[in-house]
Amino acid sequence: MATKEDNYKYLSGFGSEFVSEDPRCPGALPEGQNSPQKCPYGLYAEQLSGSAFTAPRAENRRTWLYRIRPSVGHGPYTKFPKGFLTHDWDEQEPDPNQMRWRPFDLPKTPDVDFVEGLHTICGAGDPKMKSGLAIHIYSCSISMENRAFYNADGDLLIVPQVGPLDIKTEFGLMKVHPNQICVIQQGMRFSVAVNEASRGYILEVFGQHFQLPDLGPIGANGLANPRDFLTPTAYYEDMQNTSYQIVSKYQGGMFACNQDHSPFDVVAWHGNYVPYKYDLSKFQVINSVSFDHCDPSIFTVLTCQSEKKGTAIADFVIFPPRWSVQEHTFRPPYYHRNCMSEFMGLIHGAYEAKKDGFAPGGATLHSIMTPHGPDAKCFDFGSSEVLKPARVADNTQAFMFESCLGLAVTKWGLKTCQKLEEDYYKCWGDLKSHFTGMKL
């Protein structure tokens, strides 16, 4: 797939207005109004809405697309094989055990594209009610040829782990490498091309949108800076009289229709509802410089809030390279029981609290109120290390999808993938009593 460097940035935060036109068609953006009687170059005007028309101005999301053919020009939808993509959260009995998966398989055959390689691990909620989330793995070996995909159920936050993704969208082109992320928002059509067998993680939120977390006492600067989020530049292809398949994820099901032209025929666009990408190495870490721990929420890159203030349907949290300087403190992550569900993945390196067993391309799930924390080896080191300023997590990038919802694991996640470690609980088996007080 041809690529073109993205160069439009979030200059003043989410909600900003963006303007872009393909340089091959200067003046393609209408002046003065969104939908003139006749658009320049004989284009069609089409609005893509990501919020209710009547949403408050600060929350209203929409973009005007000026395209060669309107997206309505397609045949009827029919069922599309959905493989291991599911939102049936009752197909397995609830299981509160700590879970860890070995690295998920890359495709065993050379003919699996991004859509065909989607596998659901866990989730909760109902896309019909626009509430909840799902966590998927993608594993693909070939590019999507004359096929586009869109998600009618919600936003997709994509975390590549093996192999870069060339993503063609209605808004333009994005190249997303491991240690970068991208968000394709609800309803946006896209296609994924790969040059090698590729694998990664996906966080899907139903009917809501990701946003930057509030900074509170941190102040104006810190965490993910708005200017580091990149949106693509308009780039169109004029492919007529061809066979193109559009795959839709709708109410948890998969459907497909055919059309005789490329869906990536947008010559110009303007609005505040766009796909975007972000380089995790640009995250500005905030941390303790005295003693004890700040909560892991200080590592939040993006959040999707529930109706309960300060409680997330989903947070995307990273654990990047940083300095650790706390005094009189057990520096590794503390032992913990949480009212949130914590799903962790590893992009590369070795996670600081479990340097053995937790491998890149694998995952862990620690469910609501199920205890977890460092293994015995990490505890012994953290209890005896000389506390001087030290680098943490160099050459490593772990992340967490955290949610207030109780996540149900699918049959594929528990059984079919055959990657679940049955003896994960044993990593805490060597934790011994060091009690020195009076024994009763």
The token pair at 158 is: 């994509």
Q: How confident is the model at residue 58 (pLDDT cuts 50, 70, 90)?
A: confident
Q: Is the alpha carbon torsion for 171, 177, 183, 186 positive or negative?
A: positive
**Assigned CATH class of 8-23+75-280:** mainly beta
- Token pair recorded at residue 7: 């160069």
Please write the tens of the pLDDT for every residue from 167-213: 999 999 999 999 999 999 999 999 999 999 999 999 999 989 999 99
pTM to 2 decimals?
0.95
Mean pLDDT computed over every residue of the chain: 94
**Which pLDDT belongs to residue 439?**
74
- Do the domains 286-421 and 8-23+75-280 match in fold? yes
pLDDT in tens, 398-437: 999 999 999 999 999 999 999 999 999 999 999 999 999 9
Q: What is the pLDDT of residues 123-177, one digit of tens each?
A: 999 999 999 999 999 999 999 999 999 999 999 999 999 999 999 999 999 999 9
The predicted pLDDT at position 15 comes to: 56
* pLDDT tens per residue across span 4-53: 455 444 433 455 789 999 999 999 999 989 999 999 999 999 999 999 99
What backbone phi and psi angles, to 5 degrees, belong to 226? -55, -35
- Which tens digit of pLDDT belongs to each residue from 348-366? 999 887 777 899 999 999 9
CATH architecture classification, 286-421: Sandwich (2.60)
Residues with active-site annotation: 293, 336, 342, 366, 372
pLDDT of 95 higher than 80: yes
CB atoms within 10 A of CB 371: 11
Give pLDDT, residue 12.
39
Cβ–Cβ < 8 Å for 345, 176: no
Residue 1 has pLDDT above 90, yes or no: no
pLDDT of residue 17: 84
Cβ–Cβ under 8 Å, residues 139 and 165: no
Q: Which residues contact 98 (CB under 8 A, 6 or more apart)?
A: 364, 365, 366, 367, 370, 372, 424, 425
pLDDT tens-digit map of 213-255: 999 999 999 999 999 999 999 999 999 999 999 999 999 999 9
pLDDT of residue 6: 53
Which tens digits make up the pLDDT trace of 324-341? 999 999 999 999 999 999
Indicate if the pLDDT at residue 389 is higher than 50: yes
Residue extents of the structural domains in the chain: 8-23+75-280, 286-421
Q: Please report the pLDDT score of residue 187 as a whole number.
A: 98
Rama region for 429: left / alpha / beta (φ>0; ψ in -120 to 50; rest): alpha
Element (H, E) at 379: helix 376-384
pLDDT at residue 2 greater than cutoff 60? no
pLDDT given at position 14: 54
